[in-house]
Amino acid sequence: MKTLKTIIMALTLAAIPMAVQAQDTAPAPATTAAPAATPAPAASAYEHIAPTPGIGQPIPGGYKIQPQVTSIGEEAQWFHDVLLMPIITIISIFVLALLVWVVIRYRAKANPVPSKTAHNTLIEIVWTLVPVLILLVIAVPSIRLLAHQYSQPKPDLTIKVIGNQWYWTYQYPDNGDFELVSNVLPDAEAAKRGEPRLLGVDERVVVPVNSVVKVIVTSNDVIHSWAVPAFWTKMDAVPGRLNETWFKADREGLYYGQCSELCGARHGFMPIAVEVVSKDKFAGWVHSKGGKMPGEAAAATPAAAATPAAATASPAEGGAAPAPAAGAAATTSPATTSQPATAQN
């Protein structure tokens, strides 16, 4: 009898693992099968915009100011075209006329006996007051322009510009702090890309349109100067010092500049290229560089931290056990299943 009982128990212990194995290898029901994961579409490469002739680059002839695409630039261009140039032109013509009149009227042949006039009160008052009035007319819009230029609004984007001999380095601290190293394009590559000679670069600065961009400028070696004429922006890059400027471009496009401080043998080979794009396109460019937009990291953190306390509590504390992943077959641990049989033994 004892031998028969031992045989039955051994058969029972042998059957339990076979049942568990059959349950593990059984196909999952159709209702719980996980759908096949579809691969995400590959991200399209960022497409840079092409330069526009006459916009953001020197105008043929070399005497005209580039079309301005910032409010500061438009105000400065108005100050130059409407106020300074007429005043300078009038003064130059007046002085030239006086010189011609003096040469003709008071030459030795026409005036053999020199005049003995030593003072003229009216003339002295005029040549004192008129320059003062001219300076007052110039000073008011000039001080207003300086106030607008140095009253920096709250920035939407911050870029750190670092001058090196002889290239530029750009950092985006608001977008993951990635870095770009910008070098001049060789002549053949610039011609292939349709960019002006000595102005095209391999890595452009990309900023969103209608956004206040704060530029922090410094240098690693000697004094450089970061200048983009279409923005009316120019700031020296001094080693060991952080200088600030800003711009807000209101038109999409590609805008060139150059180092405006003599910085060594290859000073003429430090161009600047700023690409102004839409905000959506700027976000795509940031992602293509491995960066992130400011709100993206903050949005992921609360979702990860919002785990209910009941879901993480152990079953002994009354919390619900975590549910199995969707589509996974429910398996029973052999050790747990065979425990009663071992107790019987």
Task: Return the closest-CA partner of residue 197 out of 265, 252, 268.
Answer: 268
What pLDDT shows up at residue 211? 96
For residue range 40-62, what is the model confidence (pLDDT) as tens digits?
A: 334 457 888 888 888 899 888 77
Task: Return the closest-CA partner of residue 212 out of 153, 170, 171, 159.
Answer: 153
What is the full DSSP assignment across 82-108? IIIHHHHHHHHHHHHHHHHHHHHHT-T
How does residue 302 score in pLDDT terms, banded at 50, 70 and 90?
Answer: very low
Torsional class of 56: left (φ above 0), alpha (ψ -120 to 50), beta (otherwise):
left
How does residue 110 score in pLDDT terms, banded at 50, 70 and 90?
Answer: confident
What pLDDT shows up at residue 101? 93
Domains of the chain are 71-105+124-150 (no CATH), 157-294 (2.60.40.420)
More confident residue, 239 or 30: 239
User: What value does the mean pLDDT take over residues 70-74?
Assistant: 95
| Residue 8 in this model has a pLDDT that exceeds 70 | no
What pLDDT shows up at residue 120? 86
Q: Exposed/middle/buried for 334, CB within 10 Å: 0-12, 13-18, 19+?
A: middle
User: What value does the mean pLDDT take over residues 255-270?
Assistant: 95
| Residue 318 in this model has a pLDDT that exceeds 80 | no
What pLDDT shows up at residue 59? 84
| Residue 153 in this model has a pLDDT that exceeds 70 | yes
| Residue 141 in this model has a pLDDT that exceeds 70 | yes
Asked whether the beta carbons of 211 and 279 are under 8 A apart, the reply is yes
For residue range 154-208, what is the model confidence (pLDDT) as tens digits?
A: 999 999 999 999 999 999 999 999 999 999 999 999 999 999 999 999 999 999 9
As a whole-number percent, the residues of the chain with pLDDT over 90 amount to 60
Task: Note the residue count of the chain.
Answer: 345
